[in-house]
Homo-oligomer: A and B are copies of this chain.
């Protein structure tokens, strides 16, 4: 069928073809079917949407993703991408083999699937699960379609990942310099916050640049043994973001997909010795110890298949780890810890994870010794310099938001709960992560004995308005719960 094409910009990543309903009927295509468009001997495939208003009969509108198409084109129905058949197969609970998973990964990468098909894919992997074999193949396929770093003459490359959901869990900027100082390469990429008050990348951005190309990352790590950069500026596992986009609105996160997602990135980064931290508990991503153990076992098995040595740590994730929440406040914790002080739990967890990672890498050095001797701080400053930061930075250079709200206990008792979710929400209301100095500092931990008027936490903001905004949330919720020792009830509902 001959039609006249025009380009339309609708902010869609998919190769969408808007057809007038009358033309679609003549072509015999349904909505979301594919059509093949031939233009000047060049062929592209698009996903059909109907419209009666946007395009007239005889014309069609295509999104940019289809290339620059205008003028007369020849349009015929085209088959669905092969991935759709394999998604259907997975919905039928039939295990997929590697070529089939490869096809799905490739079609997702090239944006060949409609959102309906993508929704069905994440639904199928969630409801029917991914077998260990499928998870292994998926991790490989997801790595294969991404860019990769090759480490010539380096047998051992370390890495670290945390499953997340815990506030103030900023162990990464402490572990990386410890490992680097021990002479082991650790090319660490991290995320930015979306719904949390700070990702590792946001915290590091207080101190240095975090956006680098793969070539630059390789240079930085070759020079300093480590890096602390934003993963979003490189293309290690391009399919991962697209899958997460579809999982997030459904709040589904199948274990197999988590494992494939994490390990595909590590594989592309050339890492082969990895510590994966699985915090569990109320408010964390993994809520029970049993789930944490299962996920850890699967991580190890899949890693084994991919030629990676994986150590999994199961840690308590029911309350924040550090004192500071928010980019600047967490960066202060990091600097203080590297200087030998810092919050006790942050120091302990970092050292423990670093020791396990070093052990796995066959390195006999002791993390505590590296930290206490100042070698970790020196390595950190090297990394800062390599990433364009001020290597002489001190805690005093990192200024918390100047508008403060101190919050004190209005009863005496024991701290029974620090709510990860509320801590995040209050810090975000205060302006984190965009306002780098915004967030909060916790003055107590679960188990601490508290008297009336004792300080529980302080909110910091860079503007009065945002502090007031945070204050409203603080007033109508209970971020830190103080109960007397003999109080049996958690809540009366």
Which chain A residues have a beta carbon within 8 Å of chain B's beta carbons?
8-12, 18, 25-26, 28-33, 49, 51, 53-55, 61, 80, 84, 87-88, 91-93, 114-120, 122-124, 126-128, 192-195, 245-246, 248-252, 428, 433-434
Contacts and interface: CB of A to CB of B under 8 A. Distances in A.
Contacts of A434: 25-26
5 contacts: A25-B193, A28-B195, A30-B194, A30-B245, A91-B126
A30 B120 contact: no
Contact of A30 (B114, B124, B195, B252): B195
Contact of A115 (B18, B53, B119, B195): B119
Nearest to A34: B249
A84 B12 contact: no
Contacts of A10: 8, 10-12
Contacts of A51: 11
A194 B434 CA distance: 51
Contact of A11 (B32, B33, B53, B114): B53
A248 B30 contact: yes
- Tallying the copies of this chain within the complex gives 2
A423 B122 CA distance: 37
Contacts of A32: 245-246, 248-249
A18 B13 CA distance: 13
A248 B123 contact: no
A15 to B, nearest CB: 14
A91 B127 contact: yes
A193 B29 CA distance: 10
Highest count of chain B CB atoms <10 Å: which of A25, A28, A115, A117:
A28
Nearest to A24: B194
Contacts of A54: 9, 11
Contacts of A11: 8, 10, 18, 49, 51, 53-55, 61
Highest count of chain B CB atoms <10 Å: which of A51, A194, A250, A434:
A250
Contacts of A117: 119, 249-250
A331 to B, nearest CB: 19
A116 B249 CA distance: 8
